Amino acid sequence: GAGVSQSPSNKVTEKGKDVELRCDPISGHTALYWYRQSLGQGLEFLIYFQGNSAPDKSGLPSDRFSAERTGGSVSTLTIQRTQQEDSAVYLCASSFLAGGYTGELFFGEGSRLTVL
Amino acid sequence: GENVEQHPSTLSVQEGDSAVIKCTYSDSASNYFPWYKQELGKGSQLIIDIRSNVGEKKDQRIAVTLNKTAKHFSLHITETQPEDSAVYFCAASPGAGSYQLTFGKGTKLSVIP
Provide, as residue numbers in chain A, all residues whose Cβ is less than 8 Å from the Cβ of B99.
31, 33, 48, 50, 56, 95, 97, 102
Q: How far is the alpha carbon of B74 from chain A, nearest alpha carbon, in Å? A: 17
State the pLDDT at residue A37.
93
In terms of pLDDT, which residue wins out, A70 or A75? A75
State the pLDDT at residue A100.
55
CA–CA dist B6, B14 (Å, integer): 21
**E strands in A4-115:** 5-7, 10-13, 19-24, 31-37, 43-50, 65-69, 75-79, 88-95, 106-107, 111-115
Q: How far is the alpha carbon of A18 from chain B, nearest alpha carbon, in Å? A: 25
Question: Is residue A27 a contact partner of residue A6, using CB atoms and an 8 Å limit?
Answer: no
How sure is the predictor about A98, in pLDDT bands with cuts at 50, 70 and 90?
low
> At residue A116, does pLDDT exceed 60?
yes
CA–CA dist A23, A7 (Å, integer): 7
Q: What are the CA-CA distances from residue A25 to residues A12, A15, B10, B86 (Å)? A: 24, 29, 31, 24
**% of chain A exceeding 90 in pLDDT:** 67
Question: Is residue A85 a contact partner of residue A73, using CB atoms and an 8 Å limit?
Answer: no
State the pLDDT at residue A103.
73
How sure is the predictor about A102, in pLDDT bands with cuts at 50, 70 and 90?
low
Half-sphere exposure of A34 (CA within 13 A, CB side): 31
Q: How far is the alpha carbon of A96 from chain B, nearest alpha carbon, in Å? A: 11
Provide, as residue numbers in chain A, all residues whose Cβ is less than 8 Å from the Cβ of B34.
102, 104-105
**The pairing of beta strand B72-77 with beta strand B19-25:** antiparallel
Provide, as residue numbers in chain A, all residues whose Cβ is less than 8 Å from the Cβ of B43.
3-4, 91, 93, 106-110
Averaged confidence pLDDT in chain A? 90
Write out residues in chain B with pLDDT < 50, as ranges. Answer: none
Sequence-distant contacts of B37-42: CB under 8 A, at least 24 apart: B37/B86, B37/B87, B37/B88, B37/B89, B38/B86, B38/B87, B38/B88, B38/B89, B38/B106, B39/B86, B39/B87, B41/A109, B42/A109
Provide, as residue numbers in chain A, all residues whose Cβ is less than 8 Å from the Cβ of B9.
40
State the pLDDT at residue B52.
82
CA–CA dist A64, A80 (Å, integer): 5
State the pLDDT at residue A13.
97
Backbone angles phi, psi at A57, to 5 degrees: -100, 15
State the pLDDT at residue B10.
96
State the pLDDT at residue A99.
53
Taking only Cα atoms into account, the Rg of chain A, rounded to an integer number of angstroms, comes to: 14
**% of chain A exceeding 70 in pLDDT:** 95
